[in-house]
Structure 1
Amino acid sequence: MTPQNTMKKYERALASQDWGLVEPLLHKDICVTFSNGTYKGLHEVKSVFESNFASIKNEKYTISNLHWAHISNTSAVCLYEFNWKGMINGELCSGGGRGTSVLIFEDEQWQIMTEHLGLNAS
């Protein structure tokens, strides 16, 4: 598996809204920053992801325009755009922004070590 393949799997896993598919792609010490805070470790990240999954029904999630700023045998940095749309409380909602993910190669697999998501600059 390559870091590029890992990000493709991550996009599909997030779109599935199934934590069981997302978790294997994340490092045990994952750190995720959303607009509402920073979450550290699998326990905190699981909680916020599952909360998002529960609040957004029929979500469509995409990652596009990936730019690999760095790739080595043990680490990779990817910048991208993300978009989502789905139903929240019966209303169609959507959003998106920019993301940065840092991946590391450990225990013979690529895992996301950190993810930072933010709004697009105006």
Structure 2
Amino acid sequence: MRQYEQATNAHEIDRVVPLIAEDAVYWFSDGSYRGVAEITGAIERTSATIRDEAYGIGDLEWVVLTADHAVCRYRFSWTGIVDGRPRSGAGRGTNVVVKRDGTWKMRHEHLST
């Protein structure tokens, strides 16, 4: 999750894509996205809307942790510039992570505010 948080804060989609499973499904407040293309499109739209975003994950709890699967829940927060004005937000997240070819990848993400 820390690697995912750091990749998100780098604002370089090429750092985030390798961390997402091909068959991933993400649920965001603005809709549901299936597969890497839809998910990266949603992430890129958010990046274009929120300039200089700083995204943080806190209160991380691993509720399932096996050799090939993990589930966590956490609180997230963000700050940035929207329409030229400072903005911020926060919410809750749940992620399902799977190990594929020796690498942990996001299989599902659910963010809610």
Tell me how far apart the structure 1 counterparts of residues 78 and 12 of structure 2 sit (CA, whole Å): 16
How many positions carry a matched residue from both structures? 113
TM-score of the superposition, structure 2-length normalised?
A: 0.97
Q: Describe how 1:1-122 pairs up with structure 2 within 5 A.
A: 7-119=1-113
Question: How much does 1:18 deviate?
Answer: 1.0
More strand by share: 2
- Code of the residue aligned with 2:106 in structure 1: it is I
SS class of match (1:11): helix
Gaps of 5+ in 2: none
Alignment RMSD: 0.6
Letter in 1 for 2:105: Q
Counterpart amino acid of 2:25? C
Gaps of 5+ in 1: 1-6
* TM-score, normalised relative to structure 1: 0.90
Identity level (%): 37
After the TM superposition, which parts of structure 1 deviate over 3 Å for at least 4 consecutive aligned residues?
A: none
